[in-house]
Structure 1
Amino acid sequence: MKAVVYERYGGPELLRLSDVDMPEPAKGEIRVKVLACAVNLSDWEYLTGSPAWVRTVGGLFKPKVPVLGSDIVGLVDKLGEDVSGFEIGQRVMGDYVMTRGGFAEYACVPAHETVAVPDALSDDIAACLPQAGGIAVAGTDGLSAGDRLLINGAGGGSGTMAMQLAKAAGVYVTAVDNAGKIEWLASLGADETIDYAKVNFTEMGKTWDRILDMVATRGPREISRALIAGGTYMALGGGVPTLLSIVFGGKLLARNRSIGMLLVPSGQDLTRRVAEFAIQGRIAPHVEAVLPFSSVPDALARTGKGKVLGKIVIKPSLE
């Protein structure tokens, strides 16, 4: 079968389209024929091996898994031992960030992370939902009308869907991203936009009820200045020193504020919930492009540089 593979950490130039052996599902796994797989920032991190913490999962010195791609939509092709509740030919989806393998014609995925794709969702839309949609739903839970939310890195898949959910709840949304996305984010409904290269939101003298930070670069002392008393800051990723300062320093420097990591309860329940939100029209992923295997290196390069407006989807059938 065809797959986009890499053998060592580095840039997108290390990726190549190759013929590889067909995978066989282990106990508790399902083999799927991949219909679509969204590109995520986590793919860029596993490609580059940076931040350093990804190597504790992906392999210390070289990648354990040679194929990236975690948000997969596919047709059930073969069931592993002890798998029930699925049928051959059934369309399924899931967030397989720990196992990956989606930039290939076939992938083996854990059954306990897998759900049926509702008929109302296309392959392209469904592929954008598990990871990015799950982050958006978890990151906006509990917001109420009149709250103020700042999303740092608002122009990606998670940020745009989080903004949709927040706006629908009557929340004032400040969207922070690079200059190339500012006008677009305003057109999507952001109440306020900030070019992070020009303005540090922690130095504006403004405060927010909640800050959702896709890539943390600031420590808890800076963050606390931008939160109201009782406010909440949640980081998704970032460098190890910054994340450690948030996890440990946040408890000491928060000053009646909650500063920490966003723990996303990934799995079947959250994926089903996100899919239902999409069917209801509460979230609608913005798909910038649907591309073939040969475009994976460029898609990852643009994702890593923060240039993608929403999501890119890879489809093996286009190759």
Structure 2
Amino acid sequence: MKAVVQDRYGSADTLEFREVDRPVPGAGEVLVRVHAASVNAYDWHFMRGDPLLGRGMMGLRRPRNPVRGRDFAGRVEALGPGVTGLAPGDEVYGEADGTFAEFVCARTGELGPKPANLTFEQAAAVPLAANTALMALRDVALVRPGQSVLVNGASGGVGTFAVQLGKAFGAEVTAVCSARNAELVRSLGADRVVDYAREDFTRAGRRFDVVLDLVGNRSLGELRRALSPTGTLVLSGGGVYEGGSAVGPMGLFLKRRFLAPFARGQRWLEVSARQSTAHLATLRDLAESGKIAPVVERTYPLAEAAEAIRYLEVEHARAKVVVTV
């Protein structure tokens, strides 16, 4: 099969489109014929091997899994031993390592039926980004109707879903993004938009019940100024930043863990998103009911996946970029 393969850490130039062996599903796995896969900051981090501290998980000298990609949408091709409830031809979506390929093996606990109202390209944009937003707002921040929520980085992959989910949960949502993306986030339901180039939301004097930071470029001291006395700060370190650091966004996480006991009534937390069939079912219901809709800015063919990641890295892509197979 054709796949986008990487034998060493580095820029998008290290990615090669070439022939590799088709994977064979093991116990509890499903072989999926991939129709589309989305691009995430996750792929950029693994491509670069950045931060260095993360290489214990990614692979010390080279990527442990040489095929990039995490999200997918496609059709079941074959079932591994012990798999029930699925059949060849079923349309599914979910997460697995190595989705920039014609086929991928996915664990049954990380896939589910594709939303019926979405194309494969749209469905592939949902799993990682929307699940991160769902867990951040519903499971970590415990957002309730009537609360005020600020999303810093509202026009990105996770941010566009966070704006929609905040509204679906009954919150008043303030979106922080660039001026060029203001109309996009307004169309997704944002009640107020802050242009970060013209206004510093940490010094504007307004306090929020929940601040979801998806950028990682502000200190804890700055972010806490935007919180109500009993507000909740949620950190997510998945953004693309200037690489080469030892700890990257994990540095902010480590500071949070050390300083959180001194937050004086505020809750300082972080989201560590894990996919599950239950989360995918929730996202499918939200998509089919029209409460969330993926925004796909660009699509690239599989052979140009390197260009897709390069665009995400260099051009500050808004919403989602999708690779079609």
Is 1:210 aligned with 2:210?
Answer: yes
Per-residue deviation, residues 271-293 of structure 1 (Å, max 9, x unmatched): 11101100000000111123201
Per-residue deviation, residues 236-262 of structure 1 (Å, max 9, x unmatched): 11622212101222222x111000202
Describe the SS at the equivalent of 2:18.
strand
Is 1:66 aligned with 2:66?
Answer: yes
Is 1:274 aligned with 2:283?
Answer: yes
Is 1:160 aligned with 2:160?
Answer: yes
Paired AA for residue 260 in structure 2: G
Whole-Å separation in 1 of the counterparts to 2:25 and 2:112 = 17
Describe the SS at the equivalent of 1:209.
strand
TM-score, normalised to structure 2's length? 0.88
Whole-Å separation in 1 of the counterparts to 2:196 and 2:117 = 37
**What's 2:39 paired with?**
39
Query: 8 Å contact 1:95–1:267 — kept in the other structure?
Result: no
Describe the SS at the equivalent of 1:202.
coil
Whole-Å separation in 2 of the counterparts to 1:181 and 1:260 = 27
Assess, with a 3 A threshold, how the Cα gap between structure 1 residues 52 and 206 changes in structure 2: closer, same or farther: farther
Describe the SS at the equivalent of 1:67.
coil
Runs of 4 or more off by more than 6 Å in structure 1? Answer: none
**Count of aligned pairs:** 312
**What's 1:307 paired with?**
316
- Which one is further off, 187-196 or 280-289? 187-196
Query: 8 Å contact 1:218–1:242 — kept in the other structure?
Result: no
Per-residue deviation, residues 3-31 of structure 1 (Å, max 9, x unmatched): 11111222112112111111122232211
Q: CA deviation at 1:53?
A: 4.3
**What's 1:121 paired with?**
118
Superposition RMSD on alpha carbons, in Å? 2.0
Query: 8 Å contact 1:216–1:243 — kept in the other structure?
Result: no
Whole-Å separation in 1 of the counterparts to 2:94 and 2:157 = 16
Is 1:286 aligned with 2:283?
Answer: no
**What's 2:56 paired with?**
56
Query: 8 Å contact 1:128–1:311 — kept in the other structure?
Result: yes
Is 1:296 aligned with 2:305?
Answer: yes
**What's 2:18 paired with?**
18
Paired AA for residue 311 in structure 2: R
Paired AA for residue 268 in structure 2: I
**What's 2:242 paired with?**
none
Per-residue deviation, residues 177-230 of structure 1 (Å, max 9, x unmatched): 344423433444433333435544223322111011123233433322211011
Whole-Å separation in 1 of the counterparts to 2:85 and 2:261 = 43
Whole-Å separation in 2 of the counterparts to 1:309 and 1:186 = 14
Assess, with a 3 A threshold, how the Cα gap between structure 1 residues 14 and 244 changes in structure 2: closer, same or farther: same
Whole-Å separation in 2 of the counterparts to 1:28 and 1:187 = 41
- Which one is further off, 178-187 or 68-77? 178-187
Picking from 131, 136, 141, the partner of 1:134 is 131
Assess, with a 3 A threshold, how the Cα gap between structure 1 residues 48 and 194 changes in structure 2: closer, same or farther: farther
Paired AA for residue 250 in structure 1: A
Assess, with a 3 A threshold, how the Cα gap between structure 1 residues 104 and 114 changes in structure 2: closer, same or farther: same
Matched residues, percent identical? 37
Whole-Å separation in 1 of the counterparts to 2:33 and 2:58 = 23
Whole-Å separation in 2 of the counterparts to 1:300 and 1:200 = 29
Q: CA deviation at 1:154?
A: 0.8
Assess, with a 3 A threshold, how the Cα gap between structure 1 residues 169 and 83 changes in structure 2: closer, same or farther: closer
5+ residue gaps, structure 2, are: 238-247
Paired AA for residue 261 in structure 1: E
